[in-house]
Amino acid sequence: MWPRLGEGGRRRERDGSLSPLEDVMADGYILRDPRALVGALLEAGWRVIAPLERDGSLTPEVVSAPDELPCGLVDMQAPGAYRLQQQDSGRWFDAVVGAQGWKRWLHPAERRLWTARRDADGFSIAPAAEVWPPTVFFGVRPCDLAAIARQAEVFRQAGDPAYGERLAATRIVAVNCTRVAETCFCASMGTGPGVSAVVDVALTELEQGLLVDCGTANGAALLRGMDLATAAPADIAAARAAVEAAARDQIRAMPPDIADRLQRASESPRWQEIAARCLHCANCTLVCPTCFCTDVTDRSDLAGDHAERWQRWDSCFSPEFSYLHGGAVRRSVAARYRQWITHKLSTWHDQFGTSGCTGCGRCITWCPVGIDLVAEARAFAEEEA
Amino acid sequence: MAKAVTDQARISSSLLPRRFRVQQAWPESATITSLALSPLEGPVPSFRAGQFNMLYAFGVGEAAISICGDPDSGDLLHTIQNVGPVSGALCDLMAGDVVGVRGPFGSGWPLADQSGRDLLFVAGGLGLAPLRPAILQALAMRDTFRSVTLLVGARSPTDLLYPAQLADWAAGDGLELAITVDRGPPGWTGMVGVVTNQLARALQGRDPASVSACVCGPEIMMRHTCLTLCDAGVPAAAQWISLERNMKCAIGTCGHCQFGADFVCRDGPVFRWDKVAARLRIAEI
């Protein structure tokens, strides 16, 4: 199933109207313990991928046992800072997004495209064989659901089927955010903190368990046989209130007219000022859940009879990215930062009809010098105002 | 118990080239080689003047190379300058060798929309290669246009691309040919100077409002040519250039060739001047 995403924290109906948040959360059930659902999925043979604690962060990894789901974790995020803390809350989804999103699965960092072998004819080319096991993404946040849809659109437009094929063979269990990190600004991007898409299953964490909202027949199939209690109207109201509170708790907000403002800011002296702080390390582009740029490299054996073509993540922050015989088009860090932020927040609209930013805040948290995308965007907005 | 799982999915390979045989390879100069290609299997892909292919040299890599053959006869010709490992490996290919081809990609020169107008081609150096298909097409439907002019600039007479072709065109009556070189050696009796200085002569006797210009060469040459043509009264919306950027995928997913909101591989390489003029003023965009 392809997530069909609306905007503004609400679901877009077939007639184009936006349904209120209440409808999205209607007909809920209560699941006491998420491990029960993960266990049932594993038993049924699904590959379950969920955010697990790895290297001090949360990373979507293959789950081998339900007890691997982290409980009681809370994340402290700030520009250039990330800490996971273990608490006794007994809550499952208080820590929001870690460094890596779902793109490491749907748009792998390295991918063999094809192989070639020298033969009597010259050479022959064989497609790379890749299989995608039946997969459930468990614990996808609304911002990342939007990121998945935006990357899917990039590859759909280009006619590269791999991303869509992986996604079509994946079921999604989303989690509405009831707690936000300091770096979150999804509410201002219209991507969260509640799921606005039609999604297989969406969970909202309450005191008494998880409110389950089933959006598709595929989702219903995932839930079949689970021990679910019908949610009381009060549960549904509490879930809605918790998500609305998470929207209010966000201290960062992207200026709504940033796309237009950046179009007129290409020669602002501010780019030099940002470049003086930017290390052009490319962290922001690697953690960004929508950044899709890739390079291709050729690998061959020593005898030169076997060659492979690999695609791997690339970053517009590297000088080689814009290399044309004779030198890079974007020689300065200022030009490269301008390219990244302008593409993300402005020209993405022209190319794909949405912003390239989902408000997940990863680029703020994982910037080693704490450059704050929202603050920089605000500075451009205020400079011109 | 959850529903039994679905089948595992087979994920398609991406960016797969087709194999083509080098029918002929010949040097154009010490660093420039032309290749004539034909597919090992399947039909010759149809292409439009101004489009490009991604050519793959076994084990070395892929490069974007414009097609310089005649689209109407399906001549899959490429002229390649040796400027790096991949283009160098492509230049080393010989008749009988196999090369990988993806394409054709990108936008073309909009000849079909220019009937009744005075066509002006301006080529700088290797920029004649992507223009050649359009010139051949223009000559094939010569009656459609009021006039066809080709202004060619090169560093020196020995750097002129396709000298035999230029001599043919000069001898024929299909187009008016003007050649200028940056440095004329002893014995050179032709024009000397950059192409922009010769534009006034090329426009002589034409109503600038009825001129349509296709310009290809180094970016700075194209920019100054179009600015000069605009000053002379040629409409900005009747001028086209072909941009060059780093390209890895040619389908709009690698991100390398972005030029503002445009992917040069997908939205270009041929752009109408008035759509890109403002962007070309911005350094390092």
Domain boundaries B18-105, CATH class = mainly beta
Residue A26: predicted pLDDT: 45
A157·B252 Cβ contact <8 A: yes
Give pLDDT tens digits for A307-355: 999 999 999 999 999 998 878 999 999 999 999 999 999 999 999 999 9
Q: Does domain B111-280 have CATH number 3.40.50.300?
A: no
Q: In Å, how far from its chain's centre is CA A26?
A: 26
pLDDT digit string (tens) for B102-123?
Answer: 999 999 999 999 999 999 999 9
Query: Above 80 in pLDDT, residue A253?
Result: yes
Amino acid at A357: C
- Interface ipTM above 0.90: yes
The per-residue pLDDT for A6 is: 32
Q: Which residue has the tokens 């791999």?
A: A162
Interchain pair A125, B98: CB under 8 A: no
Of A44, A304, A322, which is closest to B4 when you measure between CB atoms? A44
| Alpha-carbon distance values, A357 to A31, A149, A374, B64 (Å) | 32, 12, 11, 30
Using a CB-CB cut-off of 8 Å, the residues of chain A touching B100 are: 116, 125
Cβ distance of B2 and A225 shorter than 8 Å:
yes
pLDDT tens-place string over residues A177-192 = 999 999 999 999 999 9
Q: How many CB atoms lie within 10 A of CB A288?
A: 24
DSSP β-ladder status, A4-5 and A197-198: antiparallel
pLDDT at A2 over 90: no
pLDDT of residue B232: 97
pLDDT at A302: 87
| CA gap B57, B61 in Å, rounded | 6
Q: Is the peptide bond before A193 cis (omega within 30 degrees of 0)?
A: yes
Asked if B23 has any chain A CB less than 8 Å from its own CB, the reply is no
Which regions of chain B carry the CATH code 2.40.30.10?
A: 18-105
| B137: pLDDT strictly greater than 70 | yes
Q: Is the peptide bond preceding residue B269 cis, with omega within 30 degrees of 0?
A: yes
Residue pLDDT, tens place only, A142-179 = 999 999 999 999 999 999 999 999 999 999 999 999 99
pLDDT for residue A104? 97
- The model's confidence at residue A385, banded by pLDDT at 50, 70 and 90, is low
* Residues forming CATH 3.40.50.80 domain(s) in chain B: 111-280
CB contact under 8 A, A165 and B10: yes
> From the list B2, B15, B255, which residue is nearest A292 (CB)?
B255
| Single-letter code of the amino acid located at B220 | I
CA triple A284-A290-A294, angle to 5 deg: 80
Chain A residues touching B260 at Cβ < 8 A: 347
User: Residue A296 and residue B15: Cβ atoms within 8 Å?
Assistant: yes
